[in-house]
């Protein structure tokens, strides 16, 4: 074996390494990667791999194991339409249940056999001569006809740039990289950040820790969480009454879609939601001073609306403190704020979010001219229908630019995207295309469409800085309209916006031979 | 930067009956002396904010440690065994709480105590229950706008008699209907000028600024109707006039505003009579909220007590 390999010329993708040929390489095995894989599988396509950097499927729901991690969208809606689960234990599931669902779904559709675990992608380059993507991973190299990036937006944690953080002698952990072995009981814990992760982790750890200091830069609007266990008879209805769960799902979908009217159409319609959040805060926090500190100064919806019934009580607990002064520096055993107060600290929890507008995967994917997606996107993320980018042939993005939603299920958007990509792949097969690439014109038109739709939305005009906007202040992450409009837009491949290059049959093998 | 910073930690001190007292500890643990400040009825530790601000440079310089805490049922502190039934609640319980707090947060070294209104009574209760603490551990006491007893109406006039007769029933009604009362109370928040007018007339002297009144009104607004009603009879029952012997062993500073309507100055005169070595200070044009209205007077008094406490330490 060894001698045979040595006698052969080294493959071009990596010296001394075997290269695996595949039809489709999918990066990531979260909701998007699994959704893509299952869709391919269900129509009989099996020539694909899922390149997963970790040791299991699940993506964001595998990684975010911090105490209290849960979904802000009801599970009936936050699940695959083709793999509904009548057995959800709660209306809003917690992380372990969602992760178990993803694992179960992967098994049910026999996707795991296509997974390559430990395959952290270091680069993906388009070889224009071979018309293949060359993907280098920690688990070997791949040559793929089509590249689907399902790496996700909430994948790579952001670490804040706080002076002295690296000198801290205690434990520092990001909420998305939770160390369950670390015992917080009795400790002086600092939580930095007040976003979606923070408001889940704070109430979960507050009863356990010695004391907890929540470092807040901007408060969030919080509305009540209508979470409840699902009654056994309800589960039986879901299981045995055909269409019942679909009906509930549709009702939840429609109800949530009403929020779009307020967020993207006319902000007046957000007023009742703002009133609800204000009443929630008023009821849960008595102290007018603390209430003021927890009241945002921007329009509700500008940043993600959070849902919680136990965050405010946790912040107002006897062992808690809300710190609104900015952090000046971290010392080996303490955090110093700009008001000159130094708080001794044992553990720092960074609930500081993810690289969303600067997706790290974009640095690793290089197109026809050798430039990376990140370089091409220097002036903002552009795409055609959130899925394809000119100069990056045969590449499709899932959960890329302008598909994010703050009000409803991301899985709905993912399924819309998967259908679009699948239609593109089938079109390529049907037309015998070796290469499919979108045009700059289509990209420009889509950018204008997004900019037009984003005008006057609460995300741009709500008076806040959020992770929805890129460094130029453009909305490059959210779909700024009803989600059914996105589904309609991506129902079929817009063939007119693509240039296809037919395969030249039987030419290359002869030359290669 | 390092010299100017104030070390701060939050403490959640459990009491034997299961309450949790919220305290803020400013300053280094190796400071030579600890000040513990107890706030008044329906207030919270924030009532000491102005005093704390004036003390901050000395805290930063390592001269002292400052402990502020929320009394049981106030601020962030919980009710413990009174969560369901407040019938047995007395100021003695608050004295016990203060003892627990000292044991936990200042287990050794000299301590100076400051108490405003019900907080002063809290200190008297601690002195009655644990006199051995006073002298060696507790080296000085500041009693601000407070009383040793005789707060309940005497029942001499018809109005007072009526008040005495109705009060217990009123308390029961108030606790039973706390939620309804809360709702009514929300209709007149501190932002309302009428609310501020009532607060000003009852609690503040002529020189109080509008900011002070708003600040105080907000602190009280954060307190539950339950705390208001539950501690009302306890305050009436408070009588430690015969049990202040322990306080005779330490320097005591008594401060009161001349226009205090809640604990009129006769109560402070009474204290000065029982404690002949106590220094009595009468503040002009000042109401019940003396720590807010005249924080510098409180800080001066604490300063004298601190000097005595550390001097005594040097001799010892």
CB–CB of A466/A302 below 8 Å?
yes
What's the pLDDT score for residue A2? 38
Query: Cβ of A287 under 8 Å from any chain B Cβ?
Result: yes
Q: Which residue from B minimizes the CA distance to A313?
A: B76
Closest CA of chain B from A313, distance in Å: 10
pTM listed for this prediction: 0.92
Query: Where do the domains of chain A lie?
Result: 2-57+111-156+355-512, 165-229+234-350
Put simply, whether B221 touches A (Cβ < 8 Å) is yes
DSSP of A298-311: S-TTSSPPEE-SSH
Q: What does the pLDDT look like over A404-429, one tens digit per residue?
A: 998 999 999 999 999 999 999 999 99
Q: Which CATH number fits domain B8-315: 3.90.1170.50, 3.10.50.30, 3.40.50.620, 3.40.50.1820?
A: 3.40.50.1820
Binary contact (A211, B10; C-beta < 8 A): yes
Contact of A248 with A234, CB cutoff 8 Å? no
Residue A505 has a pLDDT of: 62
> Token match 């020189």: residue?
B207
Q: What is the pLDDT of residue B167?
A: 67
Whole-angstrom distance, CA of residue A477 vs CA of residue A468: 5
* Topology, domain A2-57+111-156+355-512: FAD/NAD(P)-binding domain (3.50.50)
Report the run of H or E that residue B159 belongs to, with start and end. Answer: helix B158-176
Cβ proximity of A406 and A304 under 8 Å: yes
| Domain residue spans of chain B | 8-315
| Least Cα separation, residue A397 to chain B (angstroms) | 48
CB B285 within 8 A of CB B212: no
Smallest CA–CA separation between B213 and chain A, in Å?
14
Cα B250 off chain centre by:
19
pLDDT digits (tens, 9 = 90+) for B189-232: 888 899 999 999 999 999 999 999 999 999 999 999 899 999 98
- pLDDT for the residue numbered B313: 61
User: Do the beta carbons of residue A422 and residue A414 sit within 8 Å?
Assistant: no
pLDDT value at position A88?
A: 97
Q: Does A279 touch chain B (CB under 8 A)?
A: no
| Helix runs in A45-156, H state only | 60-63, 95-108
The architecture in CATH of the region A165-229+234-350 reads 3-Layer(bba) Sandwich (3.50)
The answer, for A344 touching chain B at a CB cutoff of 8 Å, is yes
Closest-CA residue of chain A to B46: A289
| A321: contact with B, CB 8 A cutoff | yes
Q: What integer pLDDT is reported at residue A12 of this predicted model? A: 44
Question: Which of A283, A342, A343, A344 has the most B C-beta neighbours within 10 Å, making it the best mutation to test the interface with B?
Answer: A342
Asked whether residue B309 carries a pLDDT value surpassing 50, the answer given is yes
Is a pLDDT exceeding 80 seen at residue B168? no
- The H or E element spanning position A278 is helix A271-284
- Based on C-alpha coordinates, what's the Rg of chain A? 24
Other Cβ atoms less than 10 A from the Cβ of A275: the count is 11
- pLDDT of amino acid A3: 39
Residues of chain A numbered 297-316 and touching chain B (CB < 8 Å) = 316
pLDDT of residue B64: 96
Q: Cα–Cα distance between A58 and A112 in angstroms, integer?
A: 12
A341 touches chain B (CB under 8 A): yes
Separation CA A466–CA A482 (nearest Å):
20
Question: Cα separation of A87 and A104, whole Å?
Answer: 12
Q: Which residues of A151-166 are buried (b: 16+ CB within 10 A; e: fewer)?
A: bbbbbbbbebebeebe
pLDDT over 70 percentage in chain B: 91
- Tell me the three state secondary structure of residue A109: coil
- The per-residue pLDDT for A148 is 98
Model ipTM value: 0.91
CB contact under 8 A, A286 and B22: no
- Positive or negative, the CA dihedral A437, A442, A444, A447 is negative
Task: For residue A264, give the DSSP letter.
Answer: I
Quick one: tokens of B11? 């403490």
DSSP category for residue A384: B
CA contacts within 13 A on the Cβ side of A63: 24
Residue length, chain B?
316
Q: Which residues, in sequence order, are bridge partners of residue A137? A: A121, A140
Rounded Cα gap, residues A450 and A431, in angstroms: 30
> In this structure, are residues B212 and B292 in contact, taking their beta carbons and an 8 Å threshold?
yes
Interface of A with B in 111-170 (CB under 8 A): none
Cα–chain center distance at B294: 15
Q: Which residue has the tokens 């106030």?
A: B74
What is the band of B16 on the pLDDT scale with cuts at 50, 70, 90? very high
Q: Residue B44 and residue A343: Cβ atoms within 8 Å?
A: no
* pLDDT of amino acid A5: 39
Query: Mean of the pLDDT values across residues B19-33?
Result: 96
> What local confidence, expressed as pLDDT, does residue B149 receive?
87
Residue in A319, A334, A336 nearest the CB of B10: A319
How far is Cα of residue A47 from the mean position of the Cα atoms in its chain?
26
Q: What DSSP designation does A349 have?
A: E
Answer whether A2-57+111-156+355-512 and A165-229+234-350 agree in fold.
yes
Backbone angles phi and psi of A135, in degrees to 5: -110, 115
CB pairs under 8 A between A and B: 68
Report B:23-82 residues touching A (Cβ under 8 A).
24, 44, 46, 60, 70, 75-78
- Point out the residues of chain A with pLDDT beneath 50: 1-14, 506-513
Cβ within 8 Å of A, B 87-146 = none
The C-alpha atoms of residue A235 and residue A430 are separated, in whole angstroms, by 43
Element (H, E) at B234: helix B225-237
Looking up tokens 């129902």, which residue turns up? Answer: A491
Fill in the DSSP letter of residue A331: E
- Whether residue B218 lies within 8 A of chain A, CB to CB, comes out as yes
Say if CB A438 and CB A390 are below 8 A apart. yes
Which residues of B are less than 8 Å from A319 in CB distance? 10-12, 20, 22
* Phi–psi pair at B79, nearest 5 degrees: -90, -20
Tell how strand A365-366 and strand A121-127 pair up: parallel
Q: For B179-206, give the DSSP string.
A: HHHHHHHHTS-TTSHHHHHHHHHHH--T
CA–CA gap between residue B310 and residue B308 (Å, rounded):
6
Is A289 an 8 Å CB contact of chain B? yes
**B214 in contact with A at a CB cutoff of 8 Å?**
no
What CA–CA distances, in Å, run from B36 to A188, B20, B57?
Answer: 22, 17, 17
- At B310, the pLDDT band (50, 70, 90 cuts) reads confident
Question: What is the rounded end-to-end Cα distance, in angstroms, of chain B?
Answer: 35
The beta-carbon neighbor of A288 closest among B75, B76, B218 is B218
For all residues of chain B together, what is the average pLDDT? 91
């Amino acid at each position: 074996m060894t001698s045979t390999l040595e006698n052969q010329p080294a493959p071009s993708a990596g010296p001394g390494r075997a290269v695996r040929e595949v039809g489709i390489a999918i990066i990531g095995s979260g909701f998007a990667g699994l959704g893509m894989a299952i869709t391919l599988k269900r129509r009989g396509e099996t020539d694909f791999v899922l390149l997963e950097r970790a040791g299991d499927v699940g993506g964001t729901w595998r990684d975010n194991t911090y105490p209290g991690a849960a979904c802000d969208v009801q599970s009936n809606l936050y699940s695959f339409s083709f793999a509904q689960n009548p057995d959800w234990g709660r209306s809003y599931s917690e992380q372990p249940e969602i992760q178990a669902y993803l694992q179960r779904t992967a098994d049910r559709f026999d996707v795991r056999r296509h997974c390559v675990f430990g395959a952290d992608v270091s680069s993906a380059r388009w070889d224009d001569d071979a018309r293949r993507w060359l993907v280098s991973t920690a688990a070997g190299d791949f040559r793929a006809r089509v590249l689907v990036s399902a790496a996700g937006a909430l994948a790579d944690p952001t670490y804040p740039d706080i002076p002295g953080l690296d000198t801290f002698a205690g434990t520092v952990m990001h909420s998305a990289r939770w160390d369950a072995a670390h015992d917080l009981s009795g400790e002086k814990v600092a939580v930095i950040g007040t976003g979606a992760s923070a408001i889940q982790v704070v109430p979960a750890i507050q009863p356990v820790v010695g004391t907890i200091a929540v470092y807040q830069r901007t408060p969030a609007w919080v509305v009540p969480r209508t979470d409840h266990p699902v009654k056994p008879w309800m589960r039986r209805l879901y299981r045995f009454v055909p269409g019942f769960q679909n009906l509930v799902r549709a009702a939840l979908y429609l109800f949530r879609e009403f929020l779009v009217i307020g967020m993207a159409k006319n902000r007046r319609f957000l007023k009742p939601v703002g009133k609800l959040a204000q009443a929630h805060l008023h009821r849960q926090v008595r102290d007018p001073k603390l209430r003021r500190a927890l009241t945002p100064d921007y329009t509700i919806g500008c940043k993600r609306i959070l849902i919680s019934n136990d965050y405010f009580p946790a912040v107002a607990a006897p062992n808690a403190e809300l710190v609104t002064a900015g952090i000046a520096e971290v010392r080996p055993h303490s955090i110093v704020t700009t008001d000159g107060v130094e708080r001794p600290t044992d553990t720092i929890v960074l609930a500081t979010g993810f690289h969303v507008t600067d997706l790290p995967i974009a640095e690793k994917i290089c197109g026809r001219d050798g430039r990376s997606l990140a370089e091409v996107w220097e002036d903002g993320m552009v795409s055609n229908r959130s899925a394809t980018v000119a100069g990056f042939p045969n590449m499709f993005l899932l959960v890329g630019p302008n598909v994010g939603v703050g009000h409803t299920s991301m899985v709905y958007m993912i399924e819309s995207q998967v259908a679009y990509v699948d239609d593109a792949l089938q079109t390529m097969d049907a037309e015998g295309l070796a290469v499919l690439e979108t045009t700059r014109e289509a990209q420009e038109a889509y950018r204008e469409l997004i900019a037009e739709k984003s005008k006057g939305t609460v995300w741009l005009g709500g008076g806040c800085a959020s992770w929805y906007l890129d460094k130029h202040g453009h909305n490059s992450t959210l779909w700024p309209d009803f989600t059914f409009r996105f589904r309609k837009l991506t129902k079929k491949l817009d063939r007119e916006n693509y240039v296809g290059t037919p395969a030249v049959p039987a030419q290359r093998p002869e030359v290669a031979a | 930067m390092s010299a100017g910073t104030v070390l701060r930690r939050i403490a959640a001190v459990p009491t034997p009956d299961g309450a949790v007292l919220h305290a803020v500890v400013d300053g280094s643990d190796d400071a030579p002396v600890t000040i513990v400040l107890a706030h008044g009825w329906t207030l919270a530790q924030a009532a000491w904010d102005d005093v704390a601000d004036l003390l901050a440079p000395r805290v930063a310089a390592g001269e002292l440690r400052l402990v502020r805490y929320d009394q049981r049922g106030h601020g962030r502190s919980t009710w413990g065994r009174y969560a369901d039934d407040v019938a047995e609640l007395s100021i003695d319980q608050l004295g016990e709480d203060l003892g627990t707090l000292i044991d936990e947060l200042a287990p050794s070294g000299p301590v100076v105590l400051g108490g405003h209104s019900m907080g002063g009574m809290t200190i008297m209760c601690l002195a009655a229950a644990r006199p051995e603490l006073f002298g060696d551990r507790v080296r000085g006491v500041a009693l601000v706008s407070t009383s040793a007893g005789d707060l309940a109406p005497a029942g001499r006039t018809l109005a007072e008699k009526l008040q005495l007769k109705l009060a217990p029933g009123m308390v029961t009604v108030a606790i039973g209907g706390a939620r309804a009362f809360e709702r009514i109370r929300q209709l007149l928040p501190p932002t309302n000028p009428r609310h501020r007018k009532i607060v000003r007339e009852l609690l503040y002297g002529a020189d109080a600024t509008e900011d002070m009144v708003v600040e105080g009104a907000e602190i009280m607004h954060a307190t539950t109707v339950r705390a208001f009603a539950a501690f009302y009879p306890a305050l009436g029952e408070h009588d430690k006039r015969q049990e202040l012997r322990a306080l005779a062993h330490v320097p005591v500073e008594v401060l009161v505003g001349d226009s205090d309507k809640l604990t009129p100055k006769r109560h402070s005169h009474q204290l000065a009579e029982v404690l002949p070595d106590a220094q009595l200070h009468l503040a002009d044009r000042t109401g019940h909220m003396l720590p807010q209205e005249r924080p510098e007077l409180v800080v001066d008094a604490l300063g004298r007590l601190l000097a005595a406490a550390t001097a005594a330490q040097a001799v010892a």
